[in-house]
Amino acid sequence: MMVRNLPSIGALALLMTSTPLHAEPTTELMVQEAAGLLHHSCDSLVEVTGADEDAIVSVVKKMVAVSLINRQVDLAEYATTDERREELRAEFIEQVRGGCAADRKALLAGIIDTAVKNVLGL
C-alpha cells in the first residue's frame, strides 16, 4: 500500500525543539540508533512502522539529531524565542512534506538533512 503523506505530518513539529543537542547520553544514543535507520525512504518508513505516528516521529527525531550534529549546529542558537521555534517547525514540516511528495523513494535522511539545511539557511 502506498501512503501519500507521512501520517499526521504535523506531529513532526515535535522535532524542532530547543532542547540542546549536546546533551550527553541522549544525543549519542540517538546517533547510534539512527545508524540502522538511515536507509529508509518515506514509503519504507511508513511501511515498517505500520504508519505508527509515534514510531515515525522517533525515527525522524534521530535523523534530525544526526543532521544537526554532522553540521555542528546548536538549534538553540536559531530558535531563540518560542515564536521563532514555531516558525522553524512549520518550515521544517513543509520541507519534509515537499521532499517526500517529490520522491517517495528518496532516502528520508537526505530529505531531512536538506530540510534542516534550508530551514536554518546553512
**Is 5 within 8 Å of 97 (Cβ atoms)?**
yes
Q: Which amino acid is present at 91?
A: E
- The pTM (predicted TM-score) of the whole model is 0.76
**Tens of pLDDT along 27-77?**
677 677 777 788 899 999 989 889 888 888 888 888 888 888 888 888 888
Taking phi first (over 0 means left), then psi (-120 to 50 degrees means alpha), and beta for anything else, what does residue 106 get? beta
Cell triple for 93 = 514540516
